Amino acid sequence: MRDASAAAALHRLPGDSGVWTFILADMAAFAMFFLVFALGRAASPELFEASRARLDPALGLANTLILLTSSYFMVRAVEAARRCDRQAVVRSLGLTMLVGSGFAVTKLAEYAAKADAGISILTNEFFTYYFAFTGIHFLHFLIGMAALAVMLAKARREDLDERFRTWIEATGCYWHMVDLLWIMLFPMLYLMRAS
């Protein structure tokens, strides 16, 4: 169950200002990526459509569902931390990582399939953006997984005090940012068919 009263009582940003500075800077950078991609597509619609058709949208769908579900378990972990329920925090963080790791499996399988098909970052403008944007996003995913692993270790041995709650809120917000960036990348790269 959601601990809405606790969150409502805060009336502040979850986590700390440092993580939000990072999140907003990242969101601004990805907004620029979207703009660059949009300009490229407007200039070369046939090339972008032919290249998009070579992607596997089912893998993009799977990755979206994986990140949404992983994000949900992250929400549960933060709520459990506010209740000082250590067992639930550990379980929810473990599920966040377990489900989230599926993203790495499908993404690496997708990259391998592209390599087998002779497609690389140098193939054309679309694939330059595809590999650059998804690669940078994947780097964010790996940083998030590392942060989750640190929080899981802390949840097992440290007090679930105010400091811990700030840390887990900050980690959660970062993890949700990884999710929301992918939510925009998925239709932009995979689903905008021209016919």
Q: Which residues bind other proteins (CB under 8 A)?
A: 1-2, 7-8, 10-14, 24, 27, 30-31, 34-35, 37-42, 57, 61, 64-65, 68-69, 71-72, 74-76, 79, 172-173, 176-177, 179-180, 183-184, 186-188, 191-195
Q: Give the Å distances, CA to CA, from 137 to 24, 142, 178.
A: 15, 9, 7
Residue 118 beta carbon to other proteins: minimum distance, rounded to whole angstroms:
26
Comparison of 31 and 84: residue with beta carbon closer to other proteins: 31
Comparison of 42 and 118: residue with beta carbon closer to other proteins: 42
Q: Which helix (H) or strand (E) holds 194?
A: none
Comparison of 79 and 127: residue with beta carbon closer to other proteins: 79
Residue 183 beta carbon to other proteins: minimum distance, rounded to whole angstroms:
5
User: Tokens at residue 10, please?
Assistant: 């805060």
User: Tokens at residue 105, please?
Assistant: 């499996």
**Rounded to whole angstroms, how far apart are CA atoms 19 and 165?**
14
CA angle at 192 for the pair 187 and 195, rounded to the nearest 5°: 160
